[in-house]
Homo-oligomer: A and B are copies of this chain.
Amino acid sequence: MRKTRLEAFSDGVLAIIITIMVLEMKVPHGESVGSLLPLAPVFLSYVLSFVYVGIYWNNHHHLLHMAGPVSGGSLWANLHLLFWLSLLPFATGWMGENHFAAAPSALYGAVLLMAAVAYWLLQRALIHAEGEGSALARALGNDWKGKVSPPIYALGIALSFHAAWMSQLLYAGAAMLWLVPDRRIERALRDLPG
């Protein structure tokens, strides 16, 4: 039951985050096709953020499905993750409005980095609540994606003041990594009873 409500609350927050981001795309005043053009970078950053929230929702979904009992610490680790994700609409809007400028690109990377760290902490809290040797710990395995992503975001932040387009490339590339379904968890889920 506790897990159910944790999922319901997270679903609610993620659903609102993903939808609220579109509000940063202000309706243009002109009525020509040309009046849409200045919105192109806002749109592109919206797409990137939509994909990222989608990835988090997807992974969160798998993670909690595999998890055992949910401790009080896990509840707060989950809220901590939602906190960083809630800053994504702000970072997305700032990056889009300034055409992927240096500082906004760095902030965007910082939000991604903190969310990745928060997700890792949530994993640890859930594994800790279940005890090592848990089904979740085994299913996550070496978790190479989780280990590789934070350095990519950090590199993106470092590069943003030199070549912001490379930061964007790194952020999009890390998203691509995650879009490929995690076969290990899928397989483990299939072997679960019930």
Contacts and interface: CB of A to CB of B under 8 A. Distances in A.
Contact of A22 (B22, B32, B58, B87): B87
A75 interface: yes
B86 A36 contact: no
Q: In the complex, which of the residues A5, A17, A33 has the most CB atoms of chain B within 10 Å of its own CB atom?
A: A5
Interface residues on A, range: 35 or more
Contact of A33 (B27, B86, B89, B103): B103
A2 B86 contact: no
Interface string A123-150: 0000000000000000000000000000
A4 B183 CA distance: 21
Given A61-B5, A76-B179, A103 B14 contact: no
A54 B10 CA distance: 12
B16 A19 contact: yes
A65 B2 contact: yes
Interface stretch (A92-100, A112-120, A151-159, A167-175): A92-100
A61 B2 contact: yes
Contacts of A47: 83
A31 to B, nearest CB: 4
B18 A90 contact: no
Contacts of A179: 76
Contacts of A27: 24, 90, 93-94, 97
